[in-house]
Amino acid sequence: MVHLTADEKAAVTALWGKVNVDEVGGEALGRLLVVYPWTQRFFDSFGDLSSPDAVMGNAKVKAHGKKVLNSFSDGLKNLDNLKGTFAKLSELHCDKLHVDPENFKLLGNVLVCVLAHHFGKQFTPQGQGAFQKVVAGVANALAHKYH
């Protein structure tokens, strides 16, 4: 369970309200594939991932990033029950997608970098702290059903 103080919840809600979830999703997934190229192993069908420009401009990356982040956004509405919220997705990532949960941590940290990039000084240490708790909670929830 994620334990956010009232101030942290407010910080997360306020910041997330200003996020263009579709765009940030594509940006975060794209940067994951550029910064940690071994993560491309899950996306053989996505076409050209041969350069940072190719990755960031890739339509399938953008579409999938949007999907992932909309799902993450749902998590934000259920911080008190992340394990329940992500139970089915956890099973999917283990049984069908075979994704090492380490990748959830990598994506979470890339997302934090993207938020920092967008919000600049508004992304205060306290705001970052709140988001780090959230991304860690989501990563744990997604790993919870692994066996």
Partner 1 sequence: MVLSPADKTNVKTTWDKLGGHAGEYGGEALERTFTSFPTTKTYFPHFDLSPGSAQVKAHGKKVADALTTAVAHLDDLPGALSTLSDLHAYKLRVDPVNFKLLSHCLLVTLACHHPAEFTPAVHASLDKFFSAVSTVLTSKYR
Q: CB-based contacts of 105: which residues, under 8 Å, 6+ apart?
A: 135, 136, 139
**Cβ-based nearer residue to partner 1, 17 or 125:** 125
**Cβ-based nearer residue to partner 1, 55 or 76:** 55
**Nearest-approach distance from CB 55 to partner 1, in angstroms:** 7
**Cβ-based nearer residue to partner 1, 17 or 120:** 120
Nearest alpha carbon to residue 30 among 49, 3, 56: 56
**Cβ-based nearer residue to partner 1, 61 or 142:** 61
DSSP assigned state of 80: G
**Nearest-approach distance from CB 91 to partner 1, in angstroms:** 29
**Nearest-approach distance from CB 56 to partner 1, in angstroms:** 6
**Cβ-based nearer residue to partner 1, 92 or 136:** 136
CA distance 26 to 56: 8
**Residue matched to tokens 């941590």:** 105
**Nearest-approach distance from CB 145 to partner 1, in angstroms:** 25
Of how many residues is the chain composed? 147
Residues 83/75, Cβ–Cβ less than 8 Å: no
State the residues that interact with partner 1 by CB under 8 A.
30-31, 34-35, 52, 55-56, 109, 112-114, 116-121, 123, 125-126, 128-129, 132
**Nearest-approach distance from CB 88 to partner 1, in angstroms:** 29
Q: Is 6 exposed, middle or buried (0-12, 13-18, 19+ CB in 10 A)?
A: exposed
